[in-house]
């Protein structure tokens, strides 16, 4: 978080996650696991929540985000990576098109324009990678958003 500054250098290990045109940058320590899946997760009775189990494993809940960071009600055919966030209270996985690990990189974190910020905003900053914006986020923020609608 920038805490009032307009930009700041960040150095460390990060993970770049992509869901179609949505690109998120999380600290590497915020992820606990990543796996490829060979079939689409099954729909559940919970809106926008799917279930997936690799061979011999317990099923777990999966969410696929839209480009606007909303949970999708149908699982996209082009998502083949699942990441589980490092959070002992939740075992929720997220589905992605792409994941890249960035080791010991320095990026220039920039604040979003004030008009795009607000008390409910999940993202307050971005970095530029490969000439495109990538939004900075933490696992805590992502999980808060995922569980906001679930009592």
Distance CA 105, CA 109 (A): 12
Distance CA 79, CA 64 (A): 8
Mean pLDDT of 45-58: 89
**Per-residue pLDDT tens over the stretch 6-19:** 678 889 999 999 99
Judge contact between 30 and 86, C-beta under 8 A: yes
Mean pLDDT of 67-78: 92
What pLDDT is recorded for position 150?
A: 47
Indicate the average pLDDT of the chain: 85
Residue 136, SS3 per DSSP:
strand
Q: Kindly list the distances between the CA atom of residue 138 and the CA atoms of 28, 44, 88, 108, 123, in Å, as whole numbers in the listed order.
A: 10, 27, 15, 17, 9
Nearest residue to 41 via CA among 19, 21, 63: 63
Question: Could you tell me what percent of the chain has a pLDDT over 90?
Answer: 54
């Amino acid at each position: 978080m920038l805490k009032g500054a307009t930009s700041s250098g960040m150095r460390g290990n990060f993970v770049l996650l992509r869901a179609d045109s949505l690109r998120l940058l999380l600290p590497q320590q915020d992820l606990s696991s990543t796996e490829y899946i060979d079939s689409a997760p099954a729909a559940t009775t919970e809106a926008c929540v799917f279930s997936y189990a690799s061979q011999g494993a317990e099923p777990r809940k999966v969410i696929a985000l839209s480009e606007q960071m909303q949970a999708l009600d149908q699982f996209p055919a082009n998502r083949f990576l699942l990441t589980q966030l490092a959070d002992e209270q939740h075992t929720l996985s997220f589905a992605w098109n792409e994941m890249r690990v960035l080791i010991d990189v320095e990026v220039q974190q920039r604040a979003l324009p004030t008009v795009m910020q607000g008390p409910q905003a999940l993202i307050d900053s971005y970095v530029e990678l490969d000439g495109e914006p990538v939004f900075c986020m933490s696992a805590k923020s992502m999980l808060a958003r995922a569980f906001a609608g679930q009592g």
